[in-house]
Structure 1
Amino acid sequence: MLPEDGHFAEDVAATYDESSADMFRPEAVDPVVDLLADLAGDGEALEFGIGTGRIALPLSRRGVPVRGIEMSRAMASRLREKPGGDAVPVTIGDFATTHAEDARSAAVVYLVFNTINNLTTQDAQVACFHNAAAHLRPGGRFVIEVGVPDLRLLPPGQTAVPFHISPTRWAFDTYDVATQALSSHYVTIVDGRAEHRSIPFRYVWPAELDLMARLAGLRLRDRWEDWHGKPFTGESTQHVSVWEKPLD
């Protein structure tokens, strides 16, 4: 059984910002906030898996009212401790099914940094789209940033793909192509001893996400390779997709 905070309990939350430092740099954050602020306009934004506030806090500073849903109390606690954190209400729960407290119809709901993959079943991912649609006002947008599965890197018989190698830290993904299960493994050398952590995910294809959106009554509006609007192609390793709730 998972601990109350899932895979992002206190031991992870305590060092999350430092371990993901590259994603907190202005060049990684600003394009995300620019697009989300533009989509929100004069409306409200809701972040699924708000974490420690990497995107929500600068978006709030832009004047966009932001709310969040987060399973990990430890991560949400880190957000509240930061400047401006008290202005971002967070509802604790699974973002696939939890309704944000006192939430009005949002102009934009968003999921960034591969967080859709934290839902480890197709049913949960489908439920997430329905939950997003339930929070959106007519004409509102649901935005997801997620990687394209790296299956082309797998030669026959291989199930693991490394993505970080250094003298003190190794990280690699393992794939089960029959179930779309993906696990990220992290090995860190601390005081000469190896510490291992593993987090399960479910990878999902762009076309599969589009079908989930249709089931929830949403339609694809835009898809880019990145937050700068670079065209999405067969060589893209990630995508930013925007689905829209019809006006009628």
Structure 2
Amino acid sequence: MRGQPLLAPGKVRRVTSSELWTRATADRYDAEETEMSSAAVLGPTLDFLAGLAGDGAALEFAIGTGRVGVPLRERGVPVAGIELSEHMAAVLRRKIGEDALPVAIGDMAATAVPGEFTLVYLVYNTISNLLGQDEQVECFRNAARHLAPGGRFVIELGVPPLRFLPPGQVAVPFDVSERHLGFDTVDVLEQILVSHHFTRDGDDGRYRRGSSRHRYAWPAELDLMARIAGLELERRVADWDGAPFTQDSAKHISVWRKPN
């Protein structure tokens, strides 16, 4: 499902454990994520992020094809991005020019971009693409380096589905629909979750199989990473509409603040 894209001659880049998107995967990404790009999903997301950005600029880690960054820029928030996959960034570039939304190709745990930001954000579980705890800590530190005093770092991340695992079971389904079957297998010792996808490809009954690895982390672990980076927890909610975060929440939106 994923592989490493070719680099331009002489180009040097630190690559983390994150798996890289192929050109084919990047080209079909938007078509397969129509629900996540719908007004019902994006509206509250953009409201939340624009409110935190205020009159300042925003930096999106793992900006991908611009599902969030492009419409946030269209709302008048200056946006820059960091993206590991050149193929994903190429899809974004078909939508908006470099002058309007600059994107640095590199590792979100280490890459620096010019400027100071009132908001750094990382959505749709993407911090879990960093497969080691040290790399996730460095991601927090990189966010803190880019933030102005008083700025915020926002993460959207699912809660690990461990309570759905009875003894002896290692797989949890997360989607059973006409065109897609998805389930996660969990290694609780290494905190690694592998998402398996069987996606119907056309109308001839064939399914395309793919998988991706993720390191899951509990909210309390992320709070400790934030403290290491000099950030303070300001708010945690269950969704972009601001519903209270409870023990039954499937995901969380967490906001950490850089002290003045």
Residue 189 of structure 1 deviates from its aligned partner by 4.2
Say whether the 8 Å CA contact 2:3–2:22 is kept in structure 1: no
Does residue 213 (structure 1) correspond to residue 226 (structure 2)? The answer is: yes
Does residue 42 (structure 1) correspond to residue 55 (structure 2)? The answer is: yes
In the alignment, the residues of structure 1 paired with residue 96 and residue 195 of structure 2 have an alpha-carbon distance, to the nearest angstrom, of 31
**Aligned residue number for residue 156 of structure 1:** 167
Q: TM-score, normalised by structure 1?
A: 0.94
Which segment is superposed worse, 206-215 or 229-238? 229-238
Residue 167 of structure 1 deviates from its aligned partner by 4.5
Residue 162 of structure 1 deviates from its aligned partner by 1.1
**Aligned residue number for residue 114 of structure 1:** 125
Count residues with an aligned counterpart.
245
Residue 30 of structure 1 deviates from its aligned partner by 1.1
In the alignment, the residues of structure 1 paired with residue 104 and residue 46 of structure 2 have an alpha-carbon distance, to the nearest angstrom, of 21
Residue 147 of structure 1 deviates from its aligned partner by 0.6
**Aligned residue number for residue 89 of structure 1:** 102
In the alignment, the residues of structure 2 paired with residue 85 and residue 22 of structure 1 have an alpha-carbon distance, to the nearest angstrom, of 26
Say whether the 8 Å CA contact 1:188–1:194 is kept in structure 2: yes
In the alignment, the residues of structure 2 paired with residue 150 and residue 111 of structure 1 have an alpha-carbon distance, to the nearest angstrom, of 20
Q: TM-score, normalised by structure 2?
A: 0.90
SS in 1 for 2:20: coil
Say whether the 8 Å CA contact 2:4–2:21 is kept in structure 1: no
**Aligned residue number for residue 180 of structure 2:** 169
SS in 2 for 1:21: coil
In the alignment, the residues of structure 1 paired with residue 74 and residue 121 of structure 2 have an alpha-carbon distance, to the nearest angstrom, of 17
**Aligned residue number for residue 44 of structure 2:** 31
Aligned AA for 1:4?
A: P
In the alignment, the residues of structure 1 paired with residue 177 and residue 92 of structure 2 have an alpha-carbon distance, to the nearest angstrom, of 30
Does residue 3 (structure 1) correspond to residue 14 (structure 2)? The answer is: no
Q: 1:227 to 1:194 in 2, by over 3 A?
A: closer
Taking only the aligned residue pairs, the percentage that are identical comes to: 55
In the alignment, the residues of structure 2 paired with residue 55 and residue 2 of structure 1 have an alpha-carbon distance, to the nearest angstrom, of 24
Say whether the 8 Å CA contact 2:20–2:84 is kept in structure 1: no
SS in 1 for 2:36: helix
Indicate which of 63, 70, 78 corresponds to 2:91. 78
Aligned AA for 2:45?
A: V
Does residue 146 (structure 1) correspond to residue 186 (structure 2)? The answer is: no
In the alignment, the residues of structure 1 paired with residue 48 and residue 100 of structure 2 have an alpha-carbon distance, to the nearest angstrom, of 21
